[in-house]
């Protein structure tokens, strides 16, 4: 096995494990002649709402657009400030920028990678309109504390749950604590389509109706447009795929957790920082992120042993060129900068075999024997 590459993702393997179900669902759509906002989208919206115990779920074409539409539906606009964790995937910030609002970056907790609740209040100004907590790598944020702060200052909470399908905190699903929750079904996510797709969930009827209109040219009745919307619809084929996959999601999450546990048991005691869990929070391990000194050397060692790894993410948002106009500088977010040089994501997906995890752990142990 050592001369065969252990890939970071293996999306084909999952497809082949449910091929018949997927093929028949996709064929049904093609044969139906109903390709846009048809029965499959309706079915998936209702099943995903039920899965999350939320009143409304509105299918859209990506996680990024789900965020953008959620912001628009909550009347966030030019002149608003929106707090976003500095270590998230850039799409969270891009959605804020795309509606002309100002991104205000927030530091994160050094154990959980989630927004640092202690430092949140100091970022709030008169212009602050919303907070977007991100449940990073599949671990819930301390969302109860965040919604408490939001209430105190009358702020909107939009949960970015793009990495955390099926995660919950204190028995309530992430994405349902704030005013709106946002999901991506990008192929590699815990629940992934075979293309781009996303979802907005909410218990607020008004927000739901606005998003239904905004995703479809701003019309509530065909050819009658009350607002300037755009085309951000979830398509029938992707919805058909997601209907099939949703049935398997909990099983896949349990497998991820089992493999994560195996990693933790095999790696504890080594000079490597492992992901944390905390009371009441269910981690769904979209990514298994560790921290090591001399990350490049460590990564090369794994590469030499045909183990693919990735970095999520190598450059914190405050020093990304795209955000240079916000005038943040190096040193503004020391933890983010330090972690960007230390973090590494190890392969973890439900189709991995336990012996493959053991193989990765053996090679990691060998590394520390050799260099420590």
Ligand X SMILES: *Cc1c(COP(=O)(O)O)cnc(C)c1O
Chain positions contacting ligand X, by CB under 6 A: 62-64, 88-89, 91-92, 134, 160, 162-163, 184, 186, 196, 198
User: Parallel, antiparallel, or unpaired: how do β-strands 343-346 and 288-291 relate?
Assistant: antiparallel
Smallest gap, in angstroms, from Cβ of residue 180 to ligand X?
14
SS3 156: strand
- Min. distance of Cβ 143 from ligand X in angstroms? 15
Instruction: Choose between 164 and 307: whose C-beta lies nearer to ligand X.
Output: 164
Q: Which of 302, 306, 309 is nearest to 363 (CA)?
A: 302
The Cα 283–Cα 277 span in angstroms is 7
Closer residue to ligand X, CB minimum distance, 141 or 309:
141
Provide CB contacts within 8 A for 287, sequence distance 6+. Answer: 137, 138, 163, 312, 345, 348
Q: How far is the CB of 46 from ligand X (least distance, A)?
A: 21
CA distances from 200 to 147, 268, 281, 291 (A): 18, 38, 22, 32
Which residue lies nearer to ligand X by CB, 62 or 216? 62
Distance CA 347, CA 48 (A): 27
The C-alpha atoms of residue 173 and residue 182 are separated, in whole angstroms, by 12
CA distance linking residue 332 with residue 107, whole number of Å? 9
| 3-state DSSP assignment of residue 168 | strand
Which residue, 164 or 302, has its beta carbon nearer to ligand X? 164
Q: Closer to ligand X at the Cβ: 97 or 184?
A: 184
As a whole number of angstroms, the distance between CA 201 and CA 180 comes to 6
Confirm if 273 and 150 have CB atoms less than 8 A apart.
Answer: no
Decide whether 88 or 238 has the Cβ nearer to ligand X. 88
* Nearest approach, Cβ of residue 198 and ligand X (Å): 5
Tell me the residue nearest to ligand X as measured from the CB. Answer: 63
The CB density around residue 343, as the number of other CB atoms within 10 Å, is 22
64 and 311 Cβ atoms separated by less than 8 Å: no
Give the nearest distance from C-beta 82 to ligand X in angstroms. Answer: 14
- Upstream peptide bond of 313 is cis (omega within 30 degrees of 0): yes
**Which CB atom, from 92 or from 97, has the smaller least distance to ligand X?**
92
Q: Which two tokens stand for residue 229?
A: 């919307």
Q: What is the smallest separation between the CB atom of 64 and ligand X, expressed in angstroms?
A: 3
Choice between 184 and 345, CB closer to ligand X: 184
Shortest distance, CB of residue 188 to ligand X, whole angstroms? Answer: 8
* Cβ 232 to ligand X shortest distance, Å: 11
Smallest separation, CB 95 to ligand X (Å): 8
Q: How many residues does the chain have?
A: 372
Joined tokens for residue 339? 């972690």
Nearer to ligand X, 11 or 358 (CB): 11
């Amino acid at each position: 096995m050592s001369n065969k590459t252990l890939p970071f993702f293996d999306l084909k393997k999952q497809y082949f494990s449910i091929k018949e179900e997927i093929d028949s669902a996709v064929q049904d759509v093609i044969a139906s002649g109903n390709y846009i906002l048809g029965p499959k989208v309706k079915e998936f919206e209702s099943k995903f709402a039920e899965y999350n115990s939320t009143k409304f779920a509105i299918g859209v074409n990506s996680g990024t657009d789900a965020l953008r539409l959620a912001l628009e539906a909550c009347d966030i606009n030019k002149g608003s400030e929106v707090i976003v964790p500095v270590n998230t995937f850039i799409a969270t910030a891009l959605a804020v920028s795309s509606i002309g609002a100002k991104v205000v970056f927030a530091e994160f907790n050094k154990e959980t990678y989630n927004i640092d609740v202690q430092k949140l209040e100091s970022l709030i100004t008169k212009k602050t309109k919303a907070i977007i907590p991100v449940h990073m790598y599949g671990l819930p944020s301390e969302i109860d504390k965040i919604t408490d702060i939001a209430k105190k200052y009358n702020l909107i909470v939009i949960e970015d749950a793009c990495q955390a399908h099926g995660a919950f905190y204190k028995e309530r699903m992430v994405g349902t604590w704030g005013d709106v929750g946002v999901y991506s079904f990008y192929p590699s996510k815990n629940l992934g389509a075979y293309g781009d797709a996303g979802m907005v969930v909410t218990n607020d009827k008004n927000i739901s109706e606005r998003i239904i209109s905004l995703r479809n040219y701003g019309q509530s009745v065909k050819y009658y447009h009350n607002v300037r919307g755009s085309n951000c619809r979830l398509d029938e084929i992707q919805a058909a795929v997601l209907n099939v996959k949703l049935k398997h999601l909990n099983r896949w999450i349990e497998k991820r957790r089992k493999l994560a546990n195996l990693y933790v048991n095999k790696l504890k005691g080594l000079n490597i920082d492992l992901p944390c869990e905390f009371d009441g929070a269910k981690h769904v391990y979209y990514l298994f992120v560790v921290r090591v000194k001399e990350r490049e050397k460590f990564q090369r060692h794994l590469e030499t042993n045909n183990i693919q790894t990735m970095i999520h993410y190598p450059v914190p948002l405050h020093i990304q060129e795209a955000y240079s106009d916000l005038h943040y500088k190096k040193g503004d977010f020391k933890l983010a900068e330090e972690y960007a040089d230390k973090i590494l994501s190890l392969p973890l997906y439900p189709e991995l075999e336990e012996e493959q995890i053991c193989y990765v752990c053996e090679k990691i142990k060998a590394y520390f024997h050799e260099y420590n």
